[in-house]
Structure 1
Amino acid sequence: MPRRSRWTAATAALFVAAATVVVTPMVVTADPGGVIRVLDWENAADRTLPAAPPGLIRQGSAGHSSSIVSGPVRSGSSAAKFELRKSDPMANNGKRAELSQPDNNPASAERWYGFSINLPASYAYDVSPEILSQWHDCDTSDCDGGSPPLAILTKKGQWQVEFLGVAKDLGAYRTGEWADWVVHVKWTTGSGGLVQVWKNGVLVLDQAGKTFTKGPRSPYFKFGIYKWDWNNGSGKPSNTTERTIYYDSLRLGNEKASYADVDPAAGPVEPPPTTPPPTTPPPTTPPPNPCDTATKATVKIASASTSEPVNPPANAIDGNNATRWSGQGSGASLFLDLGTIQRVCGTQVAWHLGDTRWNDFTVYTSVDGLTYIKAWEGRSSGATTGAESQKFTARDARHVKISFWGNPANDWASITEAAVVSKPYGCALTGAVKAVSASTSEPVNPPANAVDGNLTTRWSGQGYGASLVLDLGTPQLLCGTKVAWHQGNTRWNDFTVYTSLDGTSYLKAWEGRSSGTTTAPEVQAFPGAPRSGRFVKITFWTNPLNNWASITEATVRTST
């Protein structure tokens, strides 16, 4: 049937109808019943650039930001050209040449997006990234803000897709060729979401679960060029001063659409095969979320990449809004060390003169203080000197870095107070063992003896690799074990502790040797943060006397 650029009744959920659309017949191979917009630049009503087509918003202040061209094209006779120069004025708080949907998507929307991007020969290698398609959080105060939950980028000669702050390299880009993209998203802040991304017919991202973090509306789509490293005052390195791309064959679909409906490739194209989803395991009670009761963490050490001597980093954690840490320059960073790995959920930052100017900054987290991952990025309100919250997806971290990029007054970062919102991990509980088994057992010393609370009974199993398995019945946060060995005051035992969610796939949690000085239980503390598990396996290797594993008592330590 003919493909046409048109509005349907469903279009109001994504776009604002603003003009009569002229229809140009074109051939498609799938029934576009779920397609709510086709923007292939073939219809006069859409060829309005640099002015935005009906229902879209222009975000680019230069005359060359967007235009209609006759080549190169993916199909038909027209395509859109986006051009961004480093010298362009700021638009919507950044250096960008984009078209954007309005922020009016319904909650829990399911959407399909298909489009094609051409990078010309002038598209030079650059250490600085740029976003070419992004799905942006809603804009009101009850939304998450910060970085988009999903984006397609180029960086250092590579295509990348970034989802919830995690970037995945997709290989080197090739200039002068069209790259076809299909994106399928079930938007939700819960666990029932899905994101799938295909590049040139190959599935490159397939992830279930939460697809954005907060907001009463689903993220909205923006396309073109956004290059934040060129923002005024950024000072970040870049190898080029110009970016140009071509965009064509854009189709947007709702939950009724399919891959074939939005595929930018011409002709009959079947959706690429995907790996069948694994069989869903029986439902289990998920482990508790430690951030449900998160509080301000105690910061053990504050340091900085640069500091004014009279305003050291310690001032940012002294509980006094009249003192401050100050460091000069774009990228000046404050480091907060919690001393232990905790479940970190956010930060609270108060800025000096924060009621007179905004500050652009990024929050990163790290387990080891060496490798940092971006957790939040955005701008302070500029309306208060009080602490403002930056919430992000809970993650394990010990170190938090707050990096300043700029403000409208100067190049000084000045933070009066900074706090980390977290839930410290405790390890004070004993998990109730629902079942116990062993790979081998002496009939008079069965595995049940190892969990009967009696140090005068024991489980005994012969042989290298003899194992005792403890089943807690449901997944819990595991942080260690306590094991007492028969005749443990006369000989040591080498052993390994493993954990598992399903009783089939085990991960090593601890490995070592008992002291050989006591018959009492000894603690095996798992390094790092607690891990989710239901099964614990204790595997014996050897002792200096014989090849018998003999455990009088074994317990599992769980996190508070």
Structure 2
Amino acid sequence: MILIAKRSRTVLSWAALLIGALVLAVYLVVFDLVSLSNSHPVTIGFEPGEPTSQNEAALVLRKSDYALQYCCTTSTALVPGRNGWARRFTVRPGDTRIKGNFRSELRLLPNPLGGTVWYRVHIFVPNTWQASPTRVIAVQWHGSKDWFLLEPGKYPPLDLAIVGNRWEVTKSWDRRLRTTKTAVGNVEGIRMIGSAPLRRGRWLDWVLRVHWSTTGAGSVDAWLDGHHIVSDRGPNAHRDLIGPYLKLGVYVPGWGYRHTEPAIAERTLLFDDIAVDYGRNPFAMRAASTGVASGAAVPATVSSGSR
């Protein structure tokens, strides 16, 4: 009996080792497929012939530059932009919910944790934009939760949102191996790291330099129209196997988690000339700070609008 028990334990140990090796191999293959390498810049100009899809598998297989997530024919369209074409995103209270909420967005592939990435986004806010306390997320870096650990959805590691008549830059972080639903936004911390006045009726040039990390090595710098408005140091990522991915468009989580706003008929933003790049300073941004906003904790009522 003792010999049989020892053999059983040996078989189980080898089986566990083989399963672990298989899981690691599958992860490495999937990671390579779904992540952008640090030598693969991305440029999106929304010009004719640019490959796109609503099928995220086409994005993973590199058959499209980005994947669209929207419900209706009114949700997105190509329109005249800065020097050519731009893409309009619109969300209305009567829209069918996409992925559980009110959104019209595009997404890119993820960037690995531990790397430094530069992002550039041009955004046009119409003159008709109505101020409201309900957050409208224009740009977010969506976390890639570890589905095999049955993790819940989490607040984005980083987002750029319109609240009232201001822009807000907010980060979150989670260093836990497995995320649970016990924390606000299902993360360890959420902090507003910068803000700026909202300007309507003109193209705005946002540039962000992010070193993605769950430790104190993390950093976020942001420039709006060339002015350095955010300089944050500290954790800015979730402890996931796959890093965050860029999404942009119109996302109004408060409409889904609470209620829509009778006075708001729609939310529309335009985007043009999107770029993801690497290196020391690919967009030639000046390092001098001109009004860095101090970090402020985000109230729990705001943080509930996650994912």
Same fold by TM (over 0.5)? yes
Secondary structure in 1 aligned to 2:50? helix
Distance 1:49 1:83 in 2: 18
- Matches of residues 56-205 of structure 1 in structure 2 within 5 Å? 56-70=66-80, 73-74=81-82, 76-102=83-109, 104-141=110-147, 142=149, 145-164=153-172, 165-167=190-192, 170-205=195-230
Query: Partner of 2:21 in structure 1?
Result: none
- Matches of residues 67-466 of structure 1 in structure 2 within 5 Å? 67-70=77-80, 73-74=81-82, 76-102=83-109, 104-141=110-147, 142=149, 145-164=153-172, 165-167=190-192, 170-231=195-256, 234-235=258-259, 237=261, 239-254=263-278, 256=279, 258-260=281-283, 270-274=284-288
1:162 deviation in Å?
1.1
> In structure 2, what residue type is equivalent to 1:241?
A
Residues 105 and 219, structure 1, Cα contact 8 Å, conserved in 2: yes
Per-residue deviation, residues 356-385 of structure 1 (Å, max 9, x unmatched): xxxxxxxxx99xxxx757666669xxxxxx
Secondary structure in 1 aligned to 2:254? helix
Distance 1:41 1:224, change over 3 A: same
> In structure 2, what residue type is equivalent to 1:14?
L
Distance 2:262 2:107 in 1: 25
1:228 deviation in Å?
1.2
Q: What is the aligned counterpart of 1:45 among 30, 33, 50?
A: 50
Distance 1:45 1:244 in 2: 22
Distance 1:176 1:272, change over 3 A: same
> In structure 2, what residue type is equivalent to 1:197?
A
Secondary structure in 2 aligned to 1:98? strand
Per-residue deviation, residues 121-152 of structure 1 (Å, max 9, x unmatched): 22122221100000011033346732112100
> In structure 2, what residue type is equivalent to 1:42?
E
Q: What is the aligned counterpart of 1:13 among 35, 41, 57?
A: 35
Distance 1:377 1:226, change over 3 A: closer
Per-residue deviation, residues 474-523 of structure 1 (Å, max 9, x unmatched): xxxxxxxxxxxxxxxxxxxxxxxxxxxxxxxxxxxxxxxxxxxxxxxxxx
Distance 1:112 1:182 in 2: 7
Residues 132 and 223, structure 1, Cα contact 8 Å, conserved in 2: yes
Distance 1:179 1:106 in 2: 27
- Pick 1 or 2: higher relative contact order, CA cutoff 8 A, min separation 6: 2
Distance 2:94 2:303 in 1: 29
Distance 2:249 2:201 in 1: 17
Normalized per residue, the structure richer in helix is 2
Residues 53 and 67, structure 2, Cα contact 8 Å, conserved in 1: no
> In structure 2, what residue type is equivalent to 1:273?
A
Task: Say what the alpha-carbon RMSD is for the aligned residues.
Answer: 3.1
Distance 1:375 1:152, change over 3 A: closer
Distance 1:236 1:242, change over 3 A: closer
Distance 1:116 1:259 in 2: 16
Aligned residues: 244
Which protein is bigger by CA-based radius of gyration? Answer: 1
Distance 1:89 1:139, change over 3 A: same
Segments of 5+ residues of structure 2 without an aligned counterpart are 1-31, 173-189, 290-296
Residues 254 and 305, structure 2, Cα contact 8 Å, conserved in 1: no
1:220 deviation in Å?
0.8
Distance 2:197 2:94 in 1: 27
Distance 1:94 1:116 in 2: 24
Distance 1:161 1:237, change over 3 A: same
Report % sequence identity.
23
Q: TM-score, normalised by structure 1?
A: 0.40
Residues 70 and 103, structure 2, Cα contact 8 Å, conserved in 1: yes
> In structure 2, what residue type is equivalent to 1:242?
E
1:63 deviation in Å?
1.3
Distance 1:259 1:230, change over 3 A: same
